[in-house]
Every structure is written in structure tokens, then in C-alpha cells.
A and B are shown apart, each in its own frame.
Chain A
Amino acid sequence: MLETLLQGLSSSSIYAVLALGFVVIYKGTKVVNLAHGSVMLLGVYVISLLAPRLGFWPGAVIGILVGAAGAVVIQFMTNAVRSKDHLVMTIMTIGINVMIAAELTHEIGDATVFTGDPWGNRSLSIGGSSFPVSRLMALIVGSVLIGVIFAIFRFTQFGVKLRASAVDAETSSLLGISQRSVSIWSWVIGGGLATVGGIFLAAFPANGLDSGSATLAMSAIPAIIIGGMDSAGGAVLGGLIVGCGEAVARRLIPELAPVLGDSFASVVPFILMLAVLLVRPSGLFGSKVVQRV
């Protein structure tokens, strides 16, 4: 039971980190970054190139910076859409995703990308059950990052600007908040978070990432939809629901419904998402869109 709980919590924290990346970008610019997975893979790929020479930590820092920089480049491209239609800007990220994915597939080929993280495949014994160190690190780093992000939202000037712009971009712009800097910094944070999530997705018990792994980031989508696309708290809760739901399913299916097979657990987040959408179309904490005539 404890093992299931810990597993659920640790994958929750990875989901939450990826979901927070989506949410910060959406709050700042009302764009869903569908190239999130490619940004993640880009960051992890850079780490895999640098880590053997520089060591893991310097490599990780540079990789996270590259992910952040890549996200900013995407922000510039989407910002060039003249109509500023968020649907069109989101659709553009699909094109960017196709482009980055093709280039990364060309670079990576059939190989598997490893970050060379220091945790390896070691496991700790907690309460009689073994638990991978990498997953424990995911839980710790994820929780700390979530705390930091919330502190930024709550206490820094950027946080206030971001929240104001998320509520009403036009008014906050009239009040002297630079939408440009809010947009850029929200994508910096989003791209960085994507890479951090990628590091843990590549770590044990998973076996590195391959060129198709960009889709993995899409499994964080249920978390943001369940929580509500513009709610950071919702993203964390969504991550928890999705991660724990998946862990519980993984644990229970072999006993209760073996017909469904092991792979059913990976569909559980999406089923949870559809269920939530039927009841609350804008997620648990998302702001409802009100039509005024």
C-alpha cells in the first residue's frame, strides 16, 4: 500500500511539473504549448550530449537553460501572428512541434538518450518495500519546484504581473505592465519546467528517452484539464489525481480486472479527464468563461 502511495506521489510530481509548465505558459500568453514535448526532449538531448563531458549537474543546468531558450524562441514565433488569435497561435505550436521533432529524430535516430543522472538504478528500502532513488528525487525536486513557483506567483513582482495579465491582459497593459516581458518570462519558466520533467521521465525505472518520447509530455494534458488550464493549484491537484489514479490502477488491475491488461493504467488519466469534463467543462479550478452581451 505504502509502495503504491509513494509511486503515485512520485509520478504525480512529474506530471505536476510538466502540467505547471503548460499552465504558466497558458496564464502568461493564453497559448497551449503543444510543442512542450519537443522542448522537453530538446533539453534532455542537450543534457545527454554535455553530461559525459561536464558531468550531470552542469549539463542539467545548461539543458534546462536550452529548454527555456527554445521555449522563448517559440514564444517569439507565436507572437508574430498578427491576429493574436490564441487558437491560431496554439495551432502554430503544432507546426513548430513537427519541425523540432523531425530535427531531433534526425539527430537521435534509433538511439536512446540518457541524462547520466547520479541516482542510477539504486533503490531505497522504505517501510519494507523498495523504492527507486530517482523517483524519490522526483518527489523532492517536484515538491520544491512547485513551492518555488507558488512563491514566485505570490510574492514576486513578476508573479503579480503574471496574475494580473492572466485576468485581463488589456487592462494590465494599460496599467503599465509589459505584456512582452510577462510573455517571455512565462515561457522561460515553462520551458525550464518541461526539461526538469524530462530529466525524471528519462530516469530509472524508465530506460532513457527515444525520439518518440515527446508524446510523453502529452500525458500531462489530463492533469491540466482536470485542474483547469489557468490554475496553478489545479495543475498540482490534477497531477496528483492523475498520478495516484494511474498508480492505483496499476496496482488493482491485475487483481480486479486482468482482462484490461497492464497498459490500461496509462489510459486511466485520459478517462479521468473525460469524466471530469462531463461534469465540469472548465476543470475543477479553471475560471469559467462568461459570455457578456
Chain B
Amino acid sequence: MSDLIWKRSGIALVAVLLLAVPFILENDMLGVAIVCLAYAVAAIGLTVLVGVGGQLSLAHGFFVAVGAYAYTVFGSPKGEHLFGFGLPPLIAAIGAVVVAAFAGLAFSPIARRLGGLYLGMASLALVFIADYVFQRVGALSGGSGGRMVPAFTVGGLQLSGFTKHLWIAGVDFGGMQRLWYLVLIVAVLSAVAALRIVRGRPGQALQLMRDNPAAAAAMGVNIPRAKSGVFVMSSAYAGLAGVLIALQAQTVVPHTFSMTLSLNLLVMIILGGLGSVQGAVVGAVVVNLLPAILDKLGTSGALAFIDPTGVRGMSGGLFSALVFGAAVVLVLIFEPLGLAGLFRRAVRRASITRAG
């Protein structure tokens, strides 16, 4: 009984903190916080694919890119040298998710046949082909300079980008503050949906497929369909994340979606614990937050070995890459369930102490 109260009050505390974020954080860190949640959505999709389904993908960043560019193309008016459809933002966003899902479906003749490692290698093709397409088709990507992302507006209320001032309780509710709430809602809904999938029948079928394909097939799981299904689902999540990331960045540049992004997404879900939805969220927050915090501390002189410009020391991004790389190795050796596993163990220990 007391555990339930603890759990509920914990969730309530987190909810209040999340709602209060725009009142606490300055604009630059609020941007980082939005990026954290946006990548959390992508990481949730990837952890279901890799952790629950046992299918490795090195191209998750590709589907994030598809979402970001599809939203931009659908939402922008037709330019002189740029593709654009001028659709309303909400339809553009939904369309972007659908396009990302279809991109996943288009890859499924390959995704449904290949297991784990082979799929990982094959998915590399998408990263390299996308890189070529973005460089070659300037009308799509706007070239290496990137292109502007249309702001998100629903019913006359603008939820991203630059907006008129709207003061609430001494805080200027600009586009960034409004976007935080939009991204928060989307992230919470994505996490809840993913939890239902993982804990329900599809999740159990996927786990069995990962651990013992023959047994899964004998139990009536259609293996090729399950493989392509989970791939499409993870692509849709990536596409949704892509829309959010584009809205935050306001300009999409091809460089954002390099292979490094796909690898970073994998780092997020490993640190969080493969297969754990909550872990993926925590992993995404840690991976995106640490470089920003380090750079901030380095600039203020609190950390002598960090320098964002890279003159006096390492940049925060490089240093955190070292930390994350080492953390991945340590996690996989000592705690394969990642931060989620550590947390679960700590909670169990605490409840045993309270009970005894």
C-alpha cells in the first residue's frame, strides 16, 4: 500500500516539475530540454525495435530526417527553388509521421527477412543514400545551408517559432515556452502508447521472437510480419521526433542527421536499458543534457578542462562522447538493464528496507 502512495506521489512530483520547466529555465536551456524530449520520442521507438524486438538498426536517424523534412516540405509554401505544398501545419505534421512510417514500410521487404545483426548492416545503406539525396536534391533539403521550418499553428494559436509576447506570471510565453508544452504532451502520449504496446500482446510476441524465433512461430507469431511491423512502428516514432526536432531548430540542415545521430540514439537506449521505455526517455535526457551543461560550466570557468570552442580543452560534446562511450561499455558489462535496471533495483531495496 505504502509503495503505491510513494509511486503516485513520485509521479505527481515529476508532473509538477515538468509543467513548471518554462518558469525555471532560460530560453537556451529550455531549447535543450525540448530537444531532450523530442529525442526521447525517437529513442522510445528505437528501444522497442532493438531492445524488445532484437532487431538492430543503424539508420534510426534516417527516419528522424524523413519526419523533419517531410514536415518542412508539406508545411512550406512552394518556393522558387524549393519543394513545398503549403499544407496547414497539423496536417503537415501528421503527413510527416505517415511518410516516415511508409519509408519504414518501403524498407520492410528487407527488414522482414533479416535478423538482428544483418538488419543493422543493411540499414546502413539508408544513411549513406540519404546523405547523397540531401546533397544532391537541393530543392528538398535547401542544400548544406538548410531550409526554414514552418511554425506550428493550431486554430490560430502559434505553438513554435517566434511569436508575440504573452506574459503569464512574469514569464514571457514565447514560441519556445509554448513548444515545450506541445512536445511534453506528444512525448507523454508516445511513452504511454509504447508502454501499452510493450506490455500487451504485441510486446510479448516481439520478446519471444527475439529470444526464440522458432518457439514464437510455433505459438502463431507471424515472424516476417512482426519484424516489419515493429520496424514501421519505430519509423513512425522517429518521424514524429523529426517533426518536433525541426520545430525546435526552426532550420533543418542535413548535417543534423548524419550517422552520428543514429549511433547517439543507440547510446541513449543502451544507457537507459535496452527495451525499457522509461529508460529510453532517461537515456535521451542524459545524452542531450550533459554536453549542454558541460559547455555551460566550461564557459563560466567552473570546469577548466572544458571549452566549447575547443581551444583550452575539449568541447562538452567531445568530453561527453568519451563519457557515454565508456558508460555504454560499463553498462553492457555490469548492468545490461541500464539506468532502468539500476532504478528498479534501488526501488526494490528501498521497499525492502521500509518493510523490514
B297: chain A residues within 8 A (beta carbon): none
Q: Mark B237-277, 1 if CB is under 8 A from A, else 0.
A: 00000000000000000000001000110110010001000
Asked whether A94 lies within 8 Å of B267 as measured between CB atoms, the reply is: yes
Question: Smallest Cβ distance from B4 to chain A, in angstroms?
Answer: 33
Instruction: List the one stretch of A9-17, A83-91, A146-154, A190-198 in contact with chain B.
Output: A83-91
A282 at the interface (CB under 8 A from B): yes
Asked whether B336 lies within 8 Å of A273 as measured between CB atoms, the reply is: no
B342 at the interface (CB under 8 A from A): no
Asked whether B128 lies within 8 Å of A270 as measured between CB atoms, the reply is: yes
Instruction: List the one stretch of B27-35, B77-85, B106-114 in contact with chain A.
Output: B106-114
State the CA gap A213–B214 with chains docked (Å). Answer: 41
Contact A263 B318, CB 8 Å, known A32-B117, A91-B270, A215-B259: no
Contact A274 B110, CB 8 Å, known A99-B321, A267-B129, A293-B214: yes
Partner of A103, one of B116, B117, B120, B322: B322
Residues of chain A from 97 to 150 with CB closer than 8 A to chain B in the complex? 97-103, 105-106, 109
Question: Smallest Cβ distance from B336 to chain A, in angstroms?
Answer: 7
Chain A residues touching B, range: 35 or more
B193 at the interface (CB under 8 A from A): no
Chain B contacts to A: CB under 8 angstroms? 50, 54, 56, 58, 109-110, 113-118, 120-122, 124-125, 128-129, 132, 135-136, 213-214, 217-218, 259, 263-264, 266-267, 270, 274, 310, 314, 318-319, 321-322, 324-329, 332-333, 336
Enumerate 29 A-B pairs (CB-CB under 8 Å) in ascending A order. Answer: A32-B117, A81-B332, A88-B336, A91-B266, A91-B270, A94-B263, A94-B266, A95-B270, A95-B325, A95-B326, A95-B329, A96-B329, A97-B263, A98-B267, A99-B322, A99-B326, A99-B329, A100-B325, A106-B318, A221-B121, A224-B121, A263-B135, A266-B128, A267-B128, A273-B125, A277-B114, A277-B118, A278-B109, A281-B118
Chain A contacts to B: CB under 8 angstroms? 32, 34, 77, 80-83, 86-88, 90-92, 94-103, 105-106, 109, 215, 218-219, 221-222, 224-225, 229, 260-261, 263-264, 266-267, 270-271, 273-274, 277-278, 281-282, 289, 291-293
User: 4 extra interchain contacts, Cβ-Cβ under 8 A, other than A229-B121, A277-B118?
Assistant: A86-B117, A88-B336, A95-B270, A102-B321
